[in-house]
Amino acid sequence: MKLLIQLAAIVLGGGALGVLANGLSARPAHLVKAVYPTSDSGTAVCGAAHFELPEVHGHPKMPQKQALAACEDCTVAFVDARGAADFARGHIPGAIHLVPSGHPGEASVLQRLRGFKTVVIYDSGGGCGLAEGVADRLSAAGLSDVRLLDGSWTDWMAVDGPAQSGACQSCPLEGPGHDEQAKPMSEARP
Amino acid sequence: MKLDPKSVALAVVRVALGATFAYAAATKLPDMQQFAEETANYRVVPAQLVPLFSSVVVGIEILAGALLVLGVMVRAAAGVTGGLLVVFIAALTQALSRGIDLRCGCFGGAEMASWGTVGRDAVMLVAAILVFRFGGGRVLPWSSEPSSAG
């Protein structure tokens, strides 16, 4: 009986301690917001040395220079296909977060994307194929001009492309931290 | 006073197990959101419960690890760590069996989940069972047997 009480005390006390520790974390999890898996899309292994290169899907590419101009003119919609944590750390201003496995709030996101003539998708590079996966998904949903950014997020940052950090404002059902205010990333650049 | 080798061995196992758990928790604390996402990637816990579940896991790791290191409530702490390890092994096994590629989320880094990870958890599970069954041992001749305190 004493052992059972101690077991319960450790589980309950540990649980309370964990919630407290989460509150003190530099990047706490939002306890009342759902976190959806991205593992099927491969975002969890993005950059892993043994990750196999995906097949080429045949989507046209938009040169980085053209994308930079389009970003400044707000003439295209950008879609970030990386994991939610990477997105929150930094992304192209106004970009929408979508992973190849999608998420339950996708219908409203698609509706928003349909308002743009062109959609440009990017990921971390490194052969993860996340952007290609999202491009397939958007093409299947009927979007006509879906392109891949020629280069990765890393390349975008390397040329000082516009960037902001924080949550996706257009992704209603995404995970923790997505209600943060987007902010410029000038101080966060490597 | 003479030390019993078995008692010393159990103490070493207890402290190593506790320190490993406490370290594992400490590596997750700076980025709990990342750990929540890694937990979600196992596709076992409902999305709405993932943040709370991952926070609770970290808290239990901290508390159970600290108790094992300090030699307080040793059998109960070993029982809890053993239970956690069974959950970890089950989660890893189902993910690997389903072909889900994911980071294991074990020590806050980018370590990939693999059968080696399962093996490592199994070794720690054996350690937890030993401590639970035989107590926490003692390192110093004059120290009391931790298991008797718990």
Condensed to tens digits (0 to 9), the pLDDT of residues B108-121 reads 777 878 899 999 99
The C-alpha torsion from A143 through A82 and A47 to A185, rounded to 10°, is: 130
Could you tell me if B80 and B89 are in contact, meaning their C-beta atoms sit under 8 angstroms apart? no
How far is CA B41 from each of CA A96, B20, B21, rounded to the nearest angstrom?
21, 23, 21
Q: What is the pLDDT of residue A52?
A: 45
How far is CA B71 from each of CA A106, A187, B60, B66, rounded to the nearest angstrom?
51, 45, 16, 8
Q: Percentage of chain A with pLDDT > 70?
A: 73
Decide if pLDDT at A54 tops 60: no
Residue A120 gets which letter from DSSP?
E
Q: Which tokens in the block code for residue B118?
A: 């399962």
> Do A17 and B79 lie within an 8 Å CB cutoff?
no
Q: Which tokens in the block code for residue A72?
A: 């400044």
Can you tell me the distance from the alpha carbon of B56 to that of A135, in angstroms, rounded to the nearest whole number? Answer: 37
For range A34-39, the mean pLDDT: 72
For an interface test with B, give the residue of A3, A12, A20, A22 to mutate (most B CBs within 10 A).
A22
- The contacts of residue B127 (CB under 8 Å, 6+ apart) are B13, B16, B17
> Do A21 and B29 lie within an 8 Å CB cutoff?
yes
Q: Is B63 on the interface with A (CB under 8 A)?
A: yes
Chain B partners within 8 Å of A11 (Cβ): 60, 80
Q: What is the pLDDT of residue A75?
A: 80
Give the residue carrying structure tokens 């970890």. Answer: B88
Q: Is B29 on the interface with A (CB under 8 A)?
A: yes
When CB atoms are compared, the residue of B35, B36, B60 closest to A14 is B60
- The contacts of residue B97 (CB under 8 Å, 6+ apart) are none
Among A72-81, A120-129, B67-76, B128-137, name the one with the lowest average pLDDT: A120-129
Residue B58 gets the label, from left (phi > 0), alpha (psi -120 to 50) or beta, of alpha
Could you tell me if A171 and A96 are in contact, meaning their C-beta atoms sit under 8 angstroms apart? yes
Give the chain B residue whose CA is nearest to the CA of A7.
B76
Q: What is the pLDDT of residue B88?
A: 96
Q: Answer yes or no: pTM beyond 0.90.
A: no
Q: Which tokens in the block code for residue B23?
A: 């370290």
Give the residue carrying structure tokens 């995404």. Answer: A174
Which range is most confident: A80-89, A139-148, B32-41, B61-70? B61-70
Q: What is the pLDDT of residue A190?
A: 42
Among A31-45, A107-121, A143-157, name the one with the lowest average pLDDT: A31-45
Rg, chain A, Cα only: 19
Chain A partners within 8 Å of B95 (Cβ): 39
Q: What is the pLDDT of residue A50?
A: 44
> Do B37 and A16 lie within an 8 Å CB cutoff?
no
Q: What is the pLDDT of residue A127?
A: 61
Decide if pLDDT at A189 tops 80: no
> Do B33 and A29 lie within an 8 Å CB cutoff?
yes
Q: What is the pLDDT of residue B113?
A: 85
CA B41 to chain centre: 20
> Do A10 and B63 lie within an 8 Å CB cutoff?
yes
Comparing CA positions, the residue from A115, A130, A123 lying closest to residue A76 is A115
Amino acid at B3: L
**pLDDT, mean over chain B:** 88
Beta bridge partners of B31: A27
Can you tell me the distance from the alpha carbon of B76 to that of A107, in angstroms, rounded to the nearest whole number? Answer: 48
Could you tell me if B17 and B81 are in contact, meaning their C-beta atoms sit under 8 angstroms apart? yes
Decide if pLDDT at A150 tops 50: yes
| Between A107 and B147, residue with greater pLDDT | A107
Q: What is the pLDDT of residue A174?
A: 44
Q: What is the pLDDT of residue A45?
A: 55
Decide if pLDDT at B86 tops 90: yes
The torsion angles phi and psi of A43, rounded to 5 degrees, stand at -65, -25
Decide if pLDDT at B147 tops 80: no
Among A96-105, B37-46, B124-133, name the one with the lowest average pLDDT: A96-105
Rg, chain B, Cα only: 16
Q: Per DSSP, which regions of A17-116 are E strands?
A: 61-62, 77-80, 96-97
Q: What is the pLDDT of residue A168?
A: 61
Angle between helical axes of A2-24 and B74-97 (0-180°, round to 10) = 60
Can you tell me the distance from the alpha carbon of A93 to that of A109, in angstroms, rounded to the nearest whole number? Answer: 16
Among A126-130, B16-20, B40-44, name the one with the lowest average pLDDT: A126-130
SS3 A152: coil
| Between B46 and B110, residue with greater pLDDT | B46
| Between A131 and B128, residue with greater pLDDT | B128
> Do B75 and A36 lie within an 8 Å CB cutoff?
no
Chain B partners within 8 Å of A40 (Cβ): 43, 100
Measured between CA atoms, how close is A95 to chain B, in angstroms? 20
Can you tell me the distance from the alpha carbon of B137 to that of B150, in angstroms, rounded to the nearest whole number? Answer: 12
For an interface test with B, give the residue of A2, A10, A38, A103 to mutate (most B CBs within 10 A).
A10
Give the chain A residue whose CA is nearest to the CA of B102.
A44
Can you tell me the distance from the alpha carbon of B143 to that of A121, in angstroms, rounded to the nearest whole number? Answer: 63
Could you tell me if A103 and A175 are in contact, meaning their C-beta atoms sit under 8 angstroms apart? no
